[in-house]
């Protein structure tokens, strides 16, 4: 297996070993591909996804970072509708920079506590 892939898996395991999502404070997991961005709220104790959104819901926004920030705002609005106010941020194997950071900032703007 490629060394970069192994490093990515190790980082992801290390990060996810330290954080746990509960029903009171679910885990906000971010996935970033070259073309799109996805975010989920996950309850690890029940092993279920409470809410999932993608940047395909965001329209009329230009720029990947701006789209990611808007994604965070959309996620926060849907979470608040489900009475979720506080989450644990899970950046996965990604650096807290760029689009991943923009999702977190958008979620904070939308009213979530990270």
pLDDT tens per residue across span 5-64: 898 888 888 887 888 888 889 999 999 999 999 999 999 999 999 999 999 988 889 999
Dihedral angle computed from the Cα positions of residues 18, 10, 113 and 57, in that order, rounded to the nearest 10 degrees: -140
| Architecture in CATH of 3-110 | 2-Layer Sandwich (3.30)
Q: Give the sheet arrangement for strand 48-54, strand by strand.
A: 48-54, 37-43, 27-32, 88-90
pLDDT of amino acid 87: 96
- Global pTM reads 0.89
Q: Which residues pair with 37 in a beta bridge?
A: 32
End-to-end Cα spacing for the chain: 35
Domain assignments of the chain as residue spans, ordered by start: 3-110
Instruction: Give the CA diameter of the chain.
Output: 43
Q: Do 78 and 53 form a contact (C-beta atoms < 8 A)? A: yes
Other C-beta atoms closer than 10 Å to the C-beta of 77 total 14
Look up residue 114 and give its two tokens: 């990270």
């Amino acid at each position: 297996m490629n060394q970069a892939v192994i490093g990515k898996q190790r980082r992801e395991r290390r990060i996810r070993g330290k954080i746990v999502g509960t029903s009171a404070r679910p885990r906000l997991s971010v996935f970033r591909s070259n073309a799109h961005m996805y975010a989920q709220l996950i309850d690890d104790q029940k092993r279920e996804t409470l809410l999932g959104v993608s940047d395909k819901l965001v329209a009329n926004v230009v720029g990947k970072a701006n789209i990611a920030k808007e994604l965070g705002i959309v996620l926060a609005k849907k979470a608040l509708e489900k009475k979720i106010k506080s989450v644990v941020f899970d950046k996965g194997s990604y650096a807290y920079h760029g689009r991943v950071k923009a999702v977190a900032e958008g979620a904070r703007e939308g009213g979530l506590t990270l």
